Amino acid sequence: MLTSHLITLPVVIPMLAALLQLLPWGERPQYYRRIIGLVASSLTLIVAIMLVIAVQSEIIVYALGSWQAPFGIVLVADKLSALMVLLTAVLALPVLIYACHGEDNLGSHFQALFQFQVLGIMGAFLTGDLFNLFVFFEILLISSYALLMHGGGKAKLRATLHYVVLNLTGSALFLISLGVLYGITGTLNMADMAGKVALLQGDDAAIARAGGMILFIVFALKSALLPLYFWLPQAYSNTTGTVAALFAIMTKVGIYAIVRVFTLIFGADAGEAAFLGYNWLWWLGLFTILVGGLGVLGSRDIRQVVAYLVLVSVGTMLTTLSLGHQDAISAMLFYLVHSTLITGALFLLVDMIAEQRGKTASRIVKGRKMAQHNLLGGLFFLAAITVIGIPPLSGFVSKLFILEAARTGAQVAWLWPLILGSTFLMMIALSRAGSRMFWNTLDGKPNDVSHGHWQHIAVILLLLGAVALTVFAQTFSGLGAAIAEQLANPHDYISQVLEGGQHE
């Protein structure tokens, strides 16, 4: 019974946890909300591991209400969606552990909002139709609006306002694209739409391409692809460390949507709409890497440096995806896992550094010594060399895979200089930040503010995840290759969704 309903649990567990956390809990409500949140996140991680194991032998399809696709709502777990669910769970638990030691007290209902955010992310990865992808996008976006404002402040309000306006515009475009695609294909189930788009010709194919390009713009906004990236640096650098760390997976939701839709519906078998948007991905991805690298170098605040590191990772992943072959997709997935874990760890680490530095906070200027100076310095050094890509850590391995994926002379001529150039800019920026915050400090007594062991453990767990990628690089590379092969051959996905599946 548990196996047949396994795919529903990553959505059901955070939903039930959030509803329980909204209840009044007497004299110690926050204590019980924290317990509920930690138990829920732990269970979600266990379920995610089980799901990854289960999908190695089959694609799991769950038809809600016993309505078979394409007429009913289906949840679908293949190797890609299961990996993304696991990555979300691996990120969420350490971030919540960190938040439970004080940061969740800065605003009301943080714990419930955190679970609703996880619910939306999990649902986006597991849904099998475009309308429910829109629904889960809205769930995670509504939660993110409140989380960005967590703790209050003018800077957060300004950044949140920009974020809200842009995403409301994106939501409107999403609905328009759904209307166009539904009008021309008569379905919103992704597997069913893939078969129907492939048969379109002439004007009908042109309308489908137009709907697909609107959808591409929406997903580009969600993933912060140039020129729709400008909301990200301000939003990520002005919110709290825990929120920014959780948001390390948010841009990956947009990237996942691009991978899913533009390999399944507009992939090689899509007829006149085949490989829609791939040329755009290549050039926009390259310029995103360039802008992100310059942003890293030009930032004078370490929070903003990490935010621009996220932007560099977005450009790197989507440029790699645009190469269009299985080795490129495998390399992109390895880099996706690495960048999510390491930027999540950096956001938490920078949050601790800013608190312990006092008035200078996260600005890259000379300041007082921190209470836990040596420990934070060591963690920062490990995180910095990992994100830069110093051998033999996961940053180096992932970039090596990406560089090897460039096959033609033109690809090598454009991709190699930008990847290596952005790496050099990261090295300069992070070296400058580390030297000013840890070596070039003011004389006198260190600050008194310190952090508990569990907050350090939360950062260490995420860094260990990046180390595990290095140790088990061959295993993860094999998993990425299997996912790439499944994406390149969507017929099994389509037939499994339309012909079978568990029923509720």
pLDDT band at 372 (very low <50, low <70, confident <90, very high): confident
pLDDT at 303 over 60: yes
- The answer to whether residue 413 sits within a structural domain is yes
Cα–Cα distance between 167 and 173 in angstroms, integer? 10
Structural domains counted in the chain: 1
- The answer to whether residue 453 sits within a structural domain is yes
Around 246, how many Cα atoms within 13 Å sit in the side-chain half-sphere? 31
What are φ and ψ of residue 293, in 5° steps?
-65, -45
Question: 153 is written with which tokens?
Answer: 């402040």
pLDDT for the residue 37: 93
Cα–Cα distance between 487 and 216 in angstroms, integer? 18
Question: 373 is written with which tokens?
Answer: 């100076």
- The answer to whether residue 192 sits within a structural domain is no
β-sheet with 74-77: strand ranges across: 74-77, 60-63, 502-503
**Section 102-118 average pLDDT:** 86
What are φ and ψ of residue 76, in 5° steps?
-130, 130
Whether the bond into 227 is cis, omega within 30 of 0:
yes
- The answer to whether residue 484 sits within a structural domain is yes
Cα–Cα distance between 39 and 425 in angstroms, integer? 41
Q: Which of 141-155, 377-391, 439-453 has the lowest mean pLDDT?
A: 439-453
Q: Reduce the DSSP state of residue 77 to 3 states and report it.
A: strand
Please report the DSSP string for 118-136 in residue order.
HHHHHHHHHB-BHHHHHHH
**Section 438-448 average pLDDT:** 77
Question: 473 is written with which tokens?
Answer: 């690089």
pLDDT at 502 over 60: no
- The answer to whether residue 451 sits within a structural domain is yes
Q: Reduce the DSSP state of residue 500 to 3 states and report it.
A: coil
Cα–Cα distance between 112 and 33 in angstroms, integer? 8
CB 156 within 8 A of CB 236: no
pLDDT band at 504 (very low <50, low <70, confident <90, very high): very low
Cα–Cα distance between 406 and 241 in angstroms, integer? 35
Domain limits at 290? 277-492
What Å distances lie between residue 331 and 103, 118, 458, 469, 477, CA to CA? 35, 26, 27, 13, 8
pLDDT for the residue 503: 44
Cα–Cα distance between 114 and 92 in angstroms, integer? 9
Sign for the CA dihedral angle at 239, 241, 247, 248 comes to positive
pTM here? 0.93
Q: Which of 114-118, 354-358, 465-469 has the lowest mean pLDDT?
A: 354-358
DSSP state of 188: -
**Section 404-427 average pLDDT:** 90
Q: Which residues pair with 76 in a beta bridge?
A: 61
pLDDT for the residue 63: 86
- The answer to whether residue 47 sits within a structural domain is no
Helices (H), 57-103: 79-99
pLDDT at 147 over 60: yes
pLDDT tens profile 337-354: 999 999 999 999 999 998
- The answer to whether residue 407 sits within a structural domain is yes
pLDDT at 60 over 50: yes
Orientation angle between helical segments 250-264 and 130-148, nearest 10 degrees: 170
Q: What is the mean pLDDT of the chain?
A: 89
Q: Reduce the DSSP state of residue 169 to 3 states and report it.
A: helix
Of 166, 293, 263, 264, whose CA–CA distance to 221 is shortest? 166
pLDDT tens profile 452-465: 889 999 999 999 98
pLDDT band at 382 (very low <50, low <70, confident <90, very high): very high
- The answer to whether residue 139 sits within a structural domain is no
Whether the bond into 24 is cis, omega within 30 of 0:
no
